[in-house]
Amino acid sequence: KAGVTQTPRYLIKTRGQQVTLSCSPISGHRSVSWYQQTPGQGLQFLFEYFSETQRNKGNFPGRFSGRQFSNSRSEMNVSTLELGDSALYLCASSLVLDSSYEQYFGPGTRLTVT
């Protein structure tokens, strides 16, 4: 069974631009979560989607948004990029909406904002 895939793996953008990251969960998984990892703040929860609906959201500004499609694939968008948005963005998929189930992480997208 293929793992979680994220595209692109690396991205360089300039301040003020916007970016869209993509995540394809493991086949059959319906929950997709997004995390931001930076050296200063560590791993922080962005949001979670289940059955095309956002179920939970972390403490990030409205510039960060996401969506999930009917095939469970998810995208996250960051508008008006700031230098502080440089980070590794990780997506995780899970079978169901239940924290007692293991989450499977993708390799991440490394975003650099210059």
Partner 1 sequence: SQQGEEDPQALSIQEGENATMNCSYKTSINNLQWYRQNSGRGLVHLILIRSNEREKHSGRLRVTLDTSKKSSSLLITASRAADTASYFCATDAFSGGYNKLIFGAGTRLAVHP
Task: Give residues in contact with partner 1 (CB under 8 A).
Answer: 4, 31, 33, 35, 42-45, 48, 50, 55-56, 58, 88, 90, 92, 94, 97-108, 110
To partner 1, the closest distance from the beta carbon of 42 in angstroms equals: 5
Which residue, 44 or 65, is less far from partner 1 as judged by CB? 44
Nearest to 92 by CA among 39, 46, 53: 46
d(CA 34, CA 58): 10
To partner 1, the closest distance from the beta carbon of 105 in angstroms equals: 4
d(CA 70, CA 52): 6
d(CA 81, CA 74): 20
Which residue, 48 or 85, is less far from partner 1 as judged by CB? 48
Spatial neighbors of 105 by CB under 8 A, at least 6 apart, are 4, 90, 91, 92
Which residue, 81 or 103, is less far from partner 1 as judged by CB? 103
Nearest to 41 by CA among 84, 90, 91, 10: 84
To partner 1, the closest distance from the beta carbon of 106 in angstroms equals: 5
Which residue, 18 or 41, is less far from partner 1 as judged by CB? 41
To partner 1, the closest distance from the beta carbon of 36 in angstroms equals: 11
